Amino acid sequence: MTRGWGRRLALGLAAGVLATGALACSPATQEPSEAGIYGAELDQPYEAAAIPLTTTSGEERALADVDNDLTLVFFGYTHCPDICGVVMSTIASALTQVDEELRDRVDMVFVTTDPARDDAEVLRGYLDRYNPEFEGLTGSLDAIVETGRSVSVAVEEGEKLPSGGYEVVHSDHVVGLDEDGLGQIVWTKDVSAKQMASDIESLLSR
């Protein structure tokens, strides 16, 4: 198991991602960096929160409780009408393009931003459509908001919908946590599955 790839990451946060604190930033583009990476590598990594949440199997787990070399994290909700499905499809497709040996070193965690509607059963059914190995986390809204803040994800309740439901406003970037629970790389919603797969293989091969 390769350790410490994140400590060699050097670039800034992608444009459009909500920054917290005095984080140095530089825009990500569809062209790779000099290191051959399409995502934005962070000068000052995020430290994932140790706030307890609940998995789809009912176990307690914090976002910081990683147990693999790379954990992809996305905050969204199952009733999301557009971008969540696009991002989740990109992640699922990217992982099918990663070499099998490296794929075993990658986890994916989806944190709901809508715990009132996304209980464990709803989350499990949603994630199974993309990949049964994907994990889901839910919990109190306060815990989710604080957890999101630790990786620069903003969460807030949006407008009421004609259907009687409501929108949930949230940041749409994917964060890559290393084996220490540190967010070292960010992908925007515009990254392609091929580009993300290339980045995953590059990071895990360092």
Choose among 106, 121, 177, 192: nearest CA to 147: 177
Phi, psi of 193 (to 5 degrees): -60, -40
Give the containing element (helix H, strand E) for 109.
Answer: strand 106-112
Give yes or no for a contact between 170 and 75, defined as CB atoms under 8 angstroms apart.
yes
Choose among 18, 39, 48: nearest CA to 156: 18
CA–CA separation, 96 and 47 (whole Å):
28
Write down the pTM of the prediction: 0.82
Assess whether pLDDT exceeds 60 at residue 164: no
The tally of domains found in the chain comes to: 1
Q: How confident is the model at residue 175 (pLDDT cuts 50, 70, 90)?
A: very high
Question: Exposed, middle or buried, 85 (CB in 10 Å: 0-12/13-18/19+)?
Answer: middle
CA angle 16, 206, 187 (to 5 degrees): 15
CA–CA separation, 30 and 192 (whole Å):
9
Q: How confident is the model at residue 150 (pLDDT cuts 50, 70, 90)?
A: very high
- In DSSP terms, 111 is beta-bridged to 75, 137
**Range in 40-49, 104-113, 166-175 the model is least confident about:** 166-175
Confidence at residue 127, expressed as pLDDT on a 0 to 100 scale? 98
The percentage of the chain sitting over the pLDDT mark of 90, rounded to a whole number, equals 65
Confidence at residue 154, expressed as pLDDT on a 0 to 100 scale? 82
Confidence at residue 169, expressed as pLDDT on a 0 to 100 scale? 54
Going by C-beta distance under 8 Å and a sequence separation of 6 or more, which residues neighbour residue 27?
Answer: 14, 15, 40
CA–CA separation, 158 and 32 (whole Å):
35
Confidence at residue 168, expressed as pLDDT on a 0 to 100 scale? 58
- Bridging pattern class, strands 182-187 and 106-112: unpaired
Instruction: Choose between 27 and 41: higher pLDDT.
Output: 41
- Containing domain of residue 180, as a range? 5-204
Q: What CATH number has the domain bearing residue 154? A: 3.40.30.10
Confidence at residue 185, expressed as pLDDT on a 0 to 100 scale? 97
> Token pair for residue 96?
């099918």
Q: Is 6 helix (H, G, I), strand (E, B) or coil?
A: helix
Question: Exposed, middle or buried, 154 (CB in 10 Å: 0-12/13-18/19+)?
Answer: middle
